[in-house]
């Protein structure tokens, strides 16, 4: 597995949604890649901290703008 593949699969990994073989490939890559290990740790820390944030209303225009940006990013 390459670093790029790992980054694409990290969400599924964290959600426990990878197949058994992909999970093994993911963890094998982590065992030998300090950069990806650090990336995963940073992502876990970010998720933990974001989970502590309170819910605030987003103005409808901003919500549309953000959703559009995320869709464009995902399709790219």
Which residue has better confidence, 11 or 74?
Answer: 11
Separation of CA 3 from chain center: 13
Question: Rounded to two decimals, what is the model's pTM?
Answer: 0.67
Domain range for 18 is: 3-75
Name the helix (H) or strand (E) containing 14.
Answer: helix 3-14
How open is the CA angle 37-42-43, to the nearest 5 degrees?
100
- State the total domains in the chain: 1
Q: What is the predicted pLDDT for the residue at 57? A: 81
Where do the DSSP E strands lie in 1-76?
A: none
Q: Which pLDDT tens digit goes with each residue over 18-63?
A: 999 999 999 999 999 999 999 999 999 999 998 888 778 888 999 9
Q: What is the predicted pLDDT for the residue at 53? A: 80
Burial 34-46 (b: 16+ CB within 10 A, else e): eebeebbeeeeee
Confidence bin at 2 (pLDDT 50/70/90):
very high
């Amino acid at each position: 597995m390459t670093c790029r593949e790992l980054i694409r699969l990290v969400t599924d990994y964290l959600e426990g949604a990878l197949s058994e073989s992909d999970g093994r490939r993911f963890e094998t890559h982590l065992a030998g890649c300090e950069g990806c290990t650090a990336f995963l740790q940073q992502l876990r820390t970010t998720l933990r901290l974001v989970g502590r944030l309170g819910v605030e209303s987003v103005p409808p225009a901003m919500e549309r703008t953000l959703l559009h940006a995320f869709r464009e990013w995902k399709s790219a």
